[in-house]
Amino acid sequence: MTDNIAKQATADKLPWWHLHKRLYNWVVHWADTKYGVLALIILAITEPICVPIPADVLVLGLSLGKPKRALRYGLLCSVFSVLGGTIAFSLGLAIGGENVIAFLEQISVGPLHFAEKAQWALDLYKKWDFWAIAISALTPVPYMLFSWLGGMADVSLVKFVAISIVFRTMRFGSEGLLFYLLGEKARKLIEKYFNIATVVVILLLVIVVFIIKKLGHAFGG
């Protein structure tokens, strides 16, 4: 709580144009209120749609105050984050990649071929949809961006949700588990090693998928 009070005092001194930092501090302060869990649910849903503040900040803030409930916070955030991602995916699907391409064709001038670049991005997403969803769900790569693009690229909704459930749970659930087991010590571990750990997990996943494919080719003839 002391950390959040200090952050709020610092926020009051921030220039008005530091909007993102002000928004970040405003989000974090809810961890010290009785509406913390409700704020976590709202942030988890809205982050994949339109909010640029990662839901991790409230998982960590709430877990720091009540470590024995940390696993619950992590799992709760995972569920509602996937729900938010599904909403963003559905909105992207409703807009449609073809409409985005058509719009970009209208505003492309001279050497700026926005439509071609957008089509290339959507085609690349379709080809590597598993990795795009998994990496954005697990790492600091914006899950919001890839949720919208998933719908626009018209990938399988079932596939998107299934991959999101696995990797969002790995992200938020592991944060909650660390606090549950280690208490306040978990914060330093997460702040120091989170990015490295996610890269290692992705690399291990690449190796596992590669081995599975090789075994499949070997036994399939």
pLDDT one-digit tens code per residue, 141-153: 789 999 999 999 9
For residue range 91-150, list pLDDT tens digits in order: 999 999 999 888 888 876 655 577 888 888 899 999 999 999 998 998 877 899 999 999
- Token pair, residue 144, equals 């919001």
Integer CA distances (angstroms), 177 to 68, 89, 131, 170, 195, in order:
9, 28, 25, 10, 17
Q: How confident is the model at residue 74 (pLDDT cuts 50, 70, 90)?
A: very high
* pLDDT above 80 for 86: yes
How much is the pTM? 0.79
Binned at pLDDT 50, 70 and 90, residue 72 comes out as very high
Provide the pLDDT for residue 73.
95
Return the domain boundaries, the chain. Answer: 33-220
Q: Look at residue 8 in the predicted model and tell me its pLDDT.
A: 46
